[in-house]
Structure 1
Amino acid sequence: MVEEDPVTRLLTNETDGGELTRKAVTLLAEATALQGTLHLPGVRDDYRSRLEQVVLLATQALDNAGESREVALLQWVLIQAFAARAEDARYGAGQLSRGSQRAPTLEDCEDGWQRVEQIAGTAEEAALGAAGFTRLLDTAKARAMARRAEVAAKAARNIVLERNRAYTFHADPGFSFGEGWYLAAAALFAGLSIQIRPGAAQEVQARRFLFDAGLDGALRPYRSRPASPKHLTHIIAEAFRADAQKAQCTLRAAFLGDESPSAALLSWIDGKVGGKPEQKVLLWVRTGDHHVQRNTCFDELRQLSELVVNAGLTPIFFGDKVPLELVPPSAVNLALCWKETLFQGPEMRRAQLQLFEELRCRHGLVGQIGVTTAGMDGPALMGLPTLYLTQERNVRLGRWVGAVPGYQEVVREPGYLEIIRTTLHQWQQ
């Protein structure tokens, strides 16, 4: 048997309008008493339930009220309840909007914002209810309460109207350089809006890269509370699953362009790796302060380097600083090369991608291995075979496995080095 809702039971069994009025007044007082503790677990839900009961009971009582004095009391109760519901809805819309912006997928984000819009509608309905009974009661207190409801409803609606749909392209060295690949790729696939913080250290370089990629039309003025970058890997995975070849061609055309690399870049590459004709593998080094648990373990890096050499390949160390004793004589050490002037100018992002592409096309680069650093994802999306190492399965990047060609996740479980050894021999062949 379905349990009867307590409010429905009250309305069904209660016939005395005066008793309904007393219960509505009591419930409103109880709800009002909760306002100082709404932050405590479960209290806000109780508060909302009481306000809903107040509206139902007071509305029913008003239909049965005979005396003008009782009618006025019920109108005042309803005005207060509607105002409280409007303000509570504004609060709920604000809380849910923040959670929705941080949702892990674009679909979850959109679902959350649809609920925010519904809550804003609840606030507006409550404000209309308060305004209607205020016109009937016509007192200063009622008008003040109705004004509160109106302000809350407008604030709730503004949360929807002012939603920031743009994603931030970080142009500050303190943020992940590689996340720019995510955002540019997702914008190319899904038409996303992009914003850059004015005055950021690499604002000029970021704008140049987006312009070269054909995304200058996606730029929007910078605003607070941008959309979450968590959505981006999911958007990219969907594009690759739909048509991997088309997705890869789109990114290569946008990221590399039609122009040949500069003579300075080609000369620099020849000077660093020109005398080593063997096939090569990038070994990424990460030693950042953000998520330090994801940093490169140097004992593991030594093992990886040995695996690469034993497979007949040449390791290229890339990324953050690596201890020189870990670099074998046959290796190429490009650690910290991204700090050189060549990779810090206006074309810094395209120059780095062109570096990987030149290594691949003319210097035998066959793949890359590294921890979950976003920097390696640019070349991965453009087709460089990739092994990324992780302590446990990565929900965000795991979406690319099986979607982006050549993209593999290697969890540090017993036997994982054997997986790497086997893959290196496949690359070598």
Structure 2
Amino acid sequence: MSQAVVEPEAAPARQMDLLRFATAGSVDDGKSTLIGRLLFDTKSLFSDQLEAVEAVSAARGDEYTNLALLTDGLRAEREQGITIDVAYRYFATPRRKFIIADTPGHIQYTRNMVTGASTADLALILVDARKGLVEQSRRHAFLTSLLRVPHLVLCVNKMDLVGWDKAVYDKIADEFTSFAAKLDITDLTIIPVSALEGDNIATRSEKSPWYEGPSLLHHLEHVHIASDRNLVDVRFPVQYVIRPQSTTVTDYRGYAGQVASGVLKPGDDVLVLPSGLTSKIAAIDTADGPVDEAFPPMSVTVRLTDEIDISRGDMICRPHNAPAVAQDVEAMICWMDETAPLRVGTKYTIKHTTRTARAVVRGLQYRLDVNTLHRDEGAPELGLNEIGRVRLRTTIPLLADEYRRNRTTGGFILIDESTNRTVGAGMIIEAS
């Protein structure tokens, strides 16, 4: 009697984590070329994409395939050879998935850099080895610190144009390290690269035997981001109340949203703000069925054991660990409107987590020079791309944390009520 052959079970696919990173730097430092090189070296390009770039490069008279054209997608960008818009690109390696935000280098596009870096796990700043640190290098380092991006990589690019001179690299590294010491940067890595030739991008280069660190891709694959998330403070902003209109389901009431921080489990005691009512978690549902726990950035539906009046904009948290319920907020604001500056007394719509309110500017404490870190306490207004500390008063309480503690519940945007344009991005310093 023949014995049945039992096929071994296939190993479950490993859940790859996702790293979001933003590139920044001055004009012509090679950000777009660097990203193009990453996409090329990781074989993340379709053949027609590469053929299109080769054709455009030839039409422009370039002696090489200009990989920067992969990210400079707007026609104006290609014509001027600069980056204007925030271009998002996606690629993956066997170890990790990546989302890249290629942000512009021009000073007038500082707001675009803020947009691209606001959700990033890592910021990648490029400097031209021939020019060294420039004003934009310091500006982007400061913005990285202000936005609480956990990891920072400084790429000293175009090392091939200085003959891979270690002294040039050391000078830039020392100068940047001393500047970063004044900021709140917790993890800094400095890598010498040549984006055009691919040195130290995907693999270590033999042209820099004096450099003992990893290649850029190796660092991106291995940088530890799991501990960056706040798993202590439970914050669940309610986005939508789910009440199925079905004859078979009559008593289902769930609260849908994305976990901002902390870990939620069935049986946990919870507090609902701003009502102050308490309950327990009965179950946590997802599109794939119920789960035993939820953590950021999962999107889930939470069911409670008690019927409580909860609506969009409310927040579920822990009874003894709650955010501030505040109408007076002090925040650092990056102003993004080119038509009108921020002035004291002006009213705006404020969007904070899932809650929307009206806000009035009560005071402008100072405008910050991001190059010298000097505070101009007599500034009458904030213009385009300027950053300052502002005091706001809202019509309804915000359920807020300090931005340094929680980037989701500590961040907000301001919207012009007449045009519906986003005019400012804010980071809460204090809510009372």
TM-score range, shorter chain: under 0.3
Which structure has the larger Rg? 1
Larger helix share, 1 or 2: 1
TM-score (norm 2): 0.25
TM-score (norm 1): 0.25
Larger strand share, 1 or 2: 2
